[in-house]
Amino acid sequence: MNNNKRSKLSTVPSSRPIRVGFVGLTSGKSWVAKTHFLAIQQLSSQFQIVALYNPTLKSSLQTIEQLQLKHATGFDSLESFAQYKDIDMIVVSVKVPEHYEVVKNILEHSSQNLNLRYLYVEWALAASVQQAEELYSISQQRANLQTIICLQGRKSPYIVRAKELISEGCIGDINSIEISGNGGWYGYERPMRSPEYLYDIESGVNLISNSFGHTIDVLQYITGSYFQKINAMISNNIPTQFLLDENGKRTKETISKTCPDHLLFQGILENGKVPVSCSFKGGTPVKKLTKNLVIDIHGTKGDLKIEGDAGFVEISNLVLYFYGIKNGNGSSNGTDNNGAAAIKDKEKVTKSPSPSTGTSEEEQTMEVFHLRNYNSVVGNILRIYESIADYHFLGKPESKSSRGPDDLFASTKFDKQGFRFEGFPTFKDAIILHRLIDAVFRSDKEEKTLDVSKIMI
Amino acid sequence: MNNNKRSKLSTVPSSRPIRVGFVGLTSGKSWVAKTHFLAIQQLSSQFQIVALYNPTLKSSLQTIEQLQLKHATGFDSLESFAQYKDIDMIVVSVKVPEHYEVVKNILEHSSQNLNLRYLYVEWALAASVQQAEELYSISQQRANLQTIICLQGRKSPYIVRAKELISEGCIGDINSIEISGNGGWYGYERPMRSPEYLYDIESGVNLISNSFGHTIDVLQYITGSYFQKINAMISNNIPTQFLLDENGKRTKETISKTCPDHLLFQGILENGKVPVSCSFKGGTPVKKLTKNLVIDIHGTKGDLKIEGDAGFVEISNLVLYFYGIKNGNGSSNGTDNNGAAAIKDKEKVTKSPSPSTGTSEEEQTMEVFHLRNYNSVVGNILRIYESIADYHFLGKPESKSSRGPDDLFASTKFDKQGFRFEGFPTFKDAIILHRLIDAVFRSDKEEKTLDVSKIMI
């Protein structure tokens, strides 16, 4: 299989594009402008921005002008925005602490707006598991509203390729995993302009929800397994940070920080009882001797290593190293590389019979995957939009039945991506991750190893 | 400081060498013959083998002849051996499950033998913490008997150099540590001749006591800190092993295994509250993408990486990578390298002022330490013998006062090495490690994070 193929919709669909309304698209410098907006620009035959909500109308109108959104209407009322009949999809990209209010409002006010089919929210879904559960519960009552959560690391070509290699048996049975990540900014210094909520434990955005959350989601996705039990230790060893001036120079000013700067996490995956060791930290990000993100996956017949320059797997351009069995269990053409994952280096080794590994009849191979010019910040999010378009125009991810592009509203609700290659993560995937993160905090607080096998939906 | 210097006793001492009696030296192929015996051969002016105990006299006499131990007497009674007046030191190197009986017997029968000054036992001290506590307790009643435990990893030049760099502030304050190790044989296959007790959880010799035990001892030694709290998860995911024939080929025979093949360990060091993440496994030892032993130590001003080809830090020839501040805090000539640790590669970087790291006025340097021909199996043990000789002929490790070589019996008992550069680990060091390992098993069993701050003596 090649699961790294781009969208099937290479030509312009004959029906109209998905009409998108944004919450939080404010200017050319905002996160959403540098990610979602650029992704949509590249998919202009499938998506069209038709509405913006921001707290002031002025801000929306300025953005419409600045980004030349000629089809877009500005809103300063979330109620009217959610009721706008010409919207197919709403994208929420505001600060996480605001998610709960915004998403709840949208869900309530759009209840009679049957045209609204998609609700796409940035990770984390909410600032706490309780808020997230409530939003999930409300969304479940909406039969025709498809939720999407932006756990875009799952769409990274490196992650998809790693999942492919594992699912084809190219490293045999996984027996051990180690992860270490450095989530840069949760450290000794804070840029003057950096928003306060990033350093506030109450905001729900921190090293654990963010660096760890995205990474462990990706790990579960790659391995096709949730956790059976976990233990965590959380440290705030840097309760005071130095403020940096606009040139990045340390000032004499300090500021307190309540969010953690270190997470120790270990656990056993349900599937194969695989032990996973994980260390995430803020602090000094530049390292000479190791990468700021390393995921080592060891199997009975080979190994995978994923490396990145920062502990943010979802937005980093990665390198994937693979040493193992060519063509896996032989059931598919696994190492076919016509897809997006380019191979820079490929070394094939026909090993002499090696009794001690028990792989004497299997051809071993080594590969390094890296896409030099891959823009992972935009690219992974773009691949979620592509999956939405495929779902919308071609039908549900799991059904391969041919459905015409006119079949706009025939697709029924997509439950969760789970460990599927196709599709996109949904609120259900988000809830499972929220519950795991909640267990991480509880394990630390209660000083216990916790059974988490019941957190799945 | 240069703590990697060899023994001060470069010339032959004017007094007689330390007279050594061995328990377990049987032939040229035994572990003790390939390690302790070779070490003593290189230190023949300081040590002389004068007695052998083995269960049969024949075995001892054969060994005396084979190894040309012309000063040695053979014993088949542990009682007579322990009472032999011409012995200064007894070395116990038998299977760990036998330690308790042998050491207890020696301690009891030698109680009136005031000539016996040193008792040197291989790690682990005993098969269980209870047995070890009892041996320690008995040994404590002997005012003039100096105990030594063979935690020889502490004497590895790489470990000493790493400790030196840290203690001189060359990587600033440590803020995170990750360890992963692969203890080869606790895996899918077992050589036919491999002794059964190595795979039996009851024997007290396993991945945890051995691979993890030596490594975590070294880690505590390097960082100068014990643990405050720990959590562990122990797995026996390979309860059945394939037997290998004499050529290393898999047979169809399988055999059950009760010892663990995986340990997840995480904890917080007392000193600086440093989070430590640790994963030890058996299984497939040969890896292409990472080393079988990796210790990453991250500090505010630099990093250390220790790599080895196997998860046995105490017998592996290592490579030490250092990136950090030259001369540390300037209080000593830390990067002086006249000692044993050769520098293969040395890159000095005078960095342009870098406000974001706060090290603008400090010269950064990168070094790779590796002794290509260092025989770590013999060398680390030899360095313990050197320390014993220094202690014996020159006085207690912590006192630098000049004491003549004639002052043979003036040195009083050396309590524990703890985190000192000089000296050697004692039974007290062994007990602290035994208690930590016991806590590891309890943490797994009770599914708790345990406070271990009280296990020190």
pLDDT value of position A186: 79
CB neighbours (10 Å) of residue A11? Answer: 8
pLDDT value of position A52: 97
Q: Which residues of chain A does B186 touch, with a Cβ-Cβ cutoff of 8 Å?
A: none
Q: Which residue of A has its CA nearest to B448?
A: A448
pTM of the model: 0.91
Residue matched to tokens 């047979």 = B251
Note whether A423 and A388 are within 8 A (CB): no
pLDDT band at B361 (very low <50, low <70, confident <90, very high): low
pLDDT tens, position by position, B118-136: 999 999 999 999 999 999 9
Pick A266's closest partner by Cβ from B242, B266, B296.
B266
- Name the residue among A149, A97, A77 with its Cα closest to residue A119: A149
Pick B275's closest partner by Cβ from A176, A233, A249.
A233
Pick B275's closest partner by Cβ from A231, A235, A323.
A235
Where does residue A248 fall: left (phi above 0), alpha (psi -120 to 50 degrees), or beta otherwise? Answer: left
- Quick one: angle between helices A213-223 and A157-167, nearest 10? 30
Encoding tokens for residue B273? 């509250």
* Distance (Å, whole) CA B61 – CA B81: 14
- Name the residue among B454, B344, B386 with its Cα closest to residue B7: B386
Beta bridge partners of B233: B264
Residue B397 has pLDDT above 80, yes or no: no
- Name the residue among A226, A219, A198, A209 with its Cα closest to residue A278: A219
CB contact under 8 A, B288 and A248: no
Average pLDDT, integer, range B261-275: 97
Residue B349 has pLDDT above 70, yes or no: no
Q: Which residues of chain B does A358 touch, with a Cβ-Cβ cutoff of 8 Å?
A: 188-189, 242, 250
- Residues 6 or more apart from A104 whose CB is under 8 A from it? A134, A135, A138
B282 or A138, higher pLDDT = A138
How close B149 comes to chain A (CA, Å)? 30
Encoding tokens for residue B169? 């502030």
Pick A231's closest partner by Cβ from B231, B288, B298.
B231
Note whether A189 and B356 are within 8 A (CB): yes
Backbone angles phi, psi at A52, to 5 degrees: -130, 135
pLDDT value of position A245: 92
Helix, strand, or coil (residue A153): helix
* Distance (Å, whole) CA B99 – CA B92: 8
Note whether A117 and A409 are within 8 A (CB): yes
CB contact under 8 A, A229 and B447: yes
pLDDT band at B362 (very low <50, low <70, confident <90, very high): confident
pLDDT tens, position by position, B313-345: 999 999 999 999 987 763 333 333 333 333 334
* Distance (Å, whole) CA A229 – CA A13: 46
Residue B246 has pLDDT above 50, yes or no: yes
For chain B, list the domains and their CATH numbers.
12-151+379-426 (3.40.50.720), 154-330+361-371 (3.30.360.10)
Rounded to whole angstroms, the maximal C-alpha distance in chain B is 72
Q: Which residues of chain B does A291 touch, with a Cβ-Cβ cutoff of 8 Å?
A: none
Average pLDDT, integer, range B1-24: 80
* Distance (Å, whole) CA B442 – CA B365: 43
pLDDT value of position A399: 53
Q: Which residues of chain A does B289 touch, with a Cβ-Cβ cutoff of 8 Å?
A: 296, 303-305, 321, 323
* Distance (Å, whole) CA A294 – CA A292: 7
Residues of chain A whose pLDDT is less than 70? 1, 8-13, 28, 285-287, 329-361, 397-411
How close A34 comes to chain B (CA, Å)? 25
Note whether A198 and A208 are within 8 A (CB): no
CB contact under 8 A, A296 and B305: no
Concatenated DSSP letters for B356-368? TTT-TTS-EEEEE
- Name the residue among A427, A457, A435, A397 with its Cα closest to residue A119: A427
Backbone angles phi, psi at A6, to 5 degrees: -75, 180
pLDDT value of position B328: 73
pLDDT value of position A56: 95
* Distance (Å, whole) CA A40 – CA A21: 12
- Burial class for A357, CB neighbours closer than 10 Å (0-12, 13-18, 19+): buried
Encoding tokens for residue B396? 């207690």
Note whether A384 and A424 are within 8 A (CB): yes
Q: Which residues of chain A does B250 touch, with a Cβ-Cβ cutoff of 8 Å?
A: 355-356, 358
Using CA atoms, how far residue B275 sits from A234, A279, A424, B270, B291, in Å, is 9, 8, 35, 10, 22
pLDDT value of position A360: 52
Report which DSSP code applies to A180. Answer: E
pLDDT value of position A407: 47
Q: Which residues of chain A does B249 touch, with a Cβ-Cβ cutoff of 8 Å?
A: 355
Report the percentage of chain B scoring pLDDT > 90.
74
Note whether A266 and A231 are within 8 A (CB): yes
- Among A185, A188, A244, A266, the strongest candidate for a mutation testing the B interface, having the largest count of B CBs within 10 A, is A266
How close B404 comes to chain A (CA, Å)? 46
Average pLDDT, integer, range B397-403: 52
Angle (CA) A437 A438 A441, round 5°: 90
B78 or A330, higher pLDDT = B78
- Name the residue among A77, A18, A17 with its Cα closest to residue A52: A77
How close A37 comes to chain B (CA, Å)? 32
pLDDT band at B447 (very low <50, low <70, confident <90, very high): very high
* Distance (Å, whole) CA A282 – CA A179: 15
- Name the residue among B378, B370, B425, B366 with its Cα closest to residue B397: B425
Note whether B63 and B69 are within 8 A (CB): yes
Contacts 24+ apart (CB under 8 A), A132-140: A132/A430, A132/A431, A132/A434, A133/A431, A133/A434, A134/A100, A134/A104, A135/A99, A135/A100, A135/A103, A135/A104, A135/A107, A135/A427, A136/A427, A136/A428, A136/A430, A136/A431, A138/A104, A138/A107, A138/A108, A139/A107, A139/A427
Q: Which residue of B has its CA nearest to A278?
A: B277
ipTM: 0.90
Q: Which residues of chain B does A262 touch, with a Cβ-Cβ cutoff of 8 Å?
A: 175-176, 275
Q: Which amino acid is at B405?
A: P
Q: Which residues of chain B does A267 touch, with a Cβ-Cβ cutoff of 8 Å?
A: 233, 264
Angle (CA) A62 A68 A74, round 5°: 45
Pick B279's closest partner by Cβ from A178, A272, A300.
A178
